Structure 1
Amino acid sequence: MKDIMGMMKAAGEMKGKMEAMQAELADLVVEGRSGGGMVVVSLSGKGDMKGVKIDPSLFKEDDVEVLEDLIVAAHADAKTKSEAEMQRKMAEVTAGLPIPPGMKFPF
């Protein structure tokens, strides 16, 4: 019976930690860069795009395809950083819990 009570207590604590982590992620902003910083994409910790900065030298008609590729690359870089930060925070929240390796959160 003590084990069940302990599990219930741990689940309640984890829920509180998860809510706090989600609030932190909402405030987190990561930047992805490409083209040596000529294109910068900002994402929230939840992966929502917050902004795009583009070096004015890229605004040439014949460079449209290059610009498009740089935006995609910067977004991918920012997304990777955002996901890594989310996994780091989840590892803090779930430390000590018997969770299968490779399981991604939130569900």
Structure 2
Amino acid sequence: MINPQMLKQIKKMQEDIKKVQAEINASTFYGQAGGSVVKVAVKGTKKVEAVEIKKSEIDMDDIEMLQDLIVAALNDAFNKVDKELEETLGSITKGMNIPGMF
């Protein structure tokens, strides 16, 4: 038999998780590479919002380097989203292993 108090706690946890996910999805995370030669902004949904490149510090003959910097900056921002999700949701679930959560 399921404990009614436990059901209440689970329901609250679900509500808290939805709230946190909505807040993170609405937040903007920033990544950079090459000493901030390339900066990016992404939403918590991992939708890219902006890419900023310092043209004065880029060798336009070395497109491969620019491509690598963009990828590195995006990965930096995406890692920040993942870390925020893991830390915030982890504090709600208090170490419970919920399949498919992370």
Report the count of equivalent residues.
Answer: 101
Aligned AA for 2:101? F
Q: Which residue is 2:101 aligned to?
A: 105
In 1: Cα distance, 2:69 partner to 2:91 partner: 33
SS in 2 for 1:99: coil
**Residues of 2 paired with 1:12 and 1:100: CA distance?**
16
TM-score by length of 1: 0.82
Aligned to 1:19: 18
Q: What's the counterpart of residue 71 of structure 2?
A: 72
More helix by percentage: 1
Counterpart residue number, 1:90: 89
Query: Which residue identity lines up with residue 20 of structure 2 in the other structure?
Result: M
For residue 78 of structure 1, report the CA deviation from its aligned partner.
Answer: 0.8
User: Does residue 50 of structure 2 align to residue 51 of structure 1?
Assistant: yes
Structure 1 SS opposite 2:35 = helix
Q: TM-score, normalised by structure 2?
A: 0.85
| Percent identity between the two aligned chains | 31
4+ residue segments displaced more than 4 Å = none
How far does the alpha carbon of each residue in 1:1-33 deviate from its partner, in whole angstroms, 9 at most, with x for none?
Answer: 5x6212210111011101210121122111111
CA contact (8 A) 1:45 1:85 kept: no
Q: Deviations 1:13-55 (Å, cap 9, x if unpaired)? A: 0111012101211221111110100001111122221111111
* Secondary structure in structure 1 of the residue aligned to 2:62: helix
- Is residue 33–residue 39 contact of structure 1 (8 Å, CA) maintained in 2? yes
CA distance in 1, matches of 2:93, 2:97: 11
Structure 2 residues not aligned, in runs of 5+: none
Give the distance between the partners of 2:35 and 2:100, measured in 1 at CA.
31
